Structure 1
Amino acid sequence: MNFEFKIILNQNLDQVIPLVYALNEGKVSKELLLSRFNEMKLQNYECAGVFIDNELIAVTGLWFCTRHYSGKSVELDHVYIMPEFRNKGLGKEFMSWIQNYVQEKGYNAMELNTYVQNNPSHKFYYNEGYNILGYHFLKKL
């Protein structure tokens, strides 16, 4: 298949809502996702997508920052590939494209969170050279 990897412009971020909605298994409404993405546009956030014939089939957010322990870093967020395109090497290609993109921007580290029960993703990220540094905690206020 002929995949096109690119950054999704802020004015087109609404097209990622169906994929992020599927990732969250409908636990966050599409309306709330749209509201949050409209806020994210104003922060150090970009969104990368994979397209086939202008159809978005994979997505990840990119949060850019400088961290005391890793320097200039990008945190991948809401990594999602539509189920019918999984296990075909697309994830590996997407991660490679993202790595090249962020390195060209001058960033020297990539990090992400993955759900504890998502064992296939753990194996994938290990194989991509990621190491587990700790646990991610969340407290809703």
Structure 2
Amino acid sequence: MAFLFKIIDKKDIDLVVPLIQKSNDHKIPEAVLKQRFAEMVNQNYECAGIFDGETLIGVSGLWFCTRHYSGKSVEPDHVFIEEDYRGKGLGKQLFEWIYNYVKLKGCESIELNTYVSNYPSHKFYHNEGFKILGYHFFKKL
């Protein structure tokens, strides 16, 4: 089975909303997600997609920035693959695609956050060579 990995065009960003809703148990309303993604695509954000034919089955946001301690970097965000496609090596393929893509854009490093309770992701990222460097704090205003 051949899958297509590509950056989702800004005009098609609403395609990601159903997957993002699944990834957060529909806690954020669709209209709010659409509005936020419409803003995000006009910032330093891109979204990589995994397609099975015409069907979007996986996503990873990519936030680009330059940090004093790591140089030009990318932060994968809201990584999600449809449940029926998990366990088939697609996560590893997606990250290989991301590594190659962001190197072409001049990135020197990758850093990311994952929820404390998302144990499968911890194992995945450790296996990908990521190291835990700190804590992510959040405060709702």
TM bracket (short chain): over 0.9
Percent identity reads: 60
Moved over 3 A (4+): none
Tell me the distance in 1 between the aligned counterparts of 2:82 and 2:135. 27
CA shift for structure 1 position 69? 1.1
TM-score (norm 2): 0.99
Tell me the distance in 1 between the aligned counterparts of 2:129 and 2:29. 34
CA shift for structure 1 position 52? 0.6
Residue matched to 2:82: 82
Tell me the distance in 1 between the aligned counterparts of 2:82 and 2:115. 17
Residue matched to 2:98: 98
Residue matched to 2:17: 17
Aligned residue pair count: 141
Tell me the distance in 2 between the aligned counterparts of 1:111 and 1:22. 23
1:59-108 Cα offsets, whole Å, 9 max, x none, are 01000000111110000110000011111100000000000000011101
Residue matched to 1:117: 117
Question: What's the RMSD between the two structures over aligned residues?
Answer: 0.5
Tell me the distance in 1 between the aligned counterparts of 2:100 and 2:69. 21
Where does the alignment leave 5 or more consecutive residues of structure 1 unmatched? none
TM-score (norm 1): 0.99
Residue matched to 2:64: 64
Tell me the distance in 2 between the aligned counterparts of 1:51 and 1:8. 10
Where does the alignment leave 5 or more consecutive residues of structure 2 unmatched? none
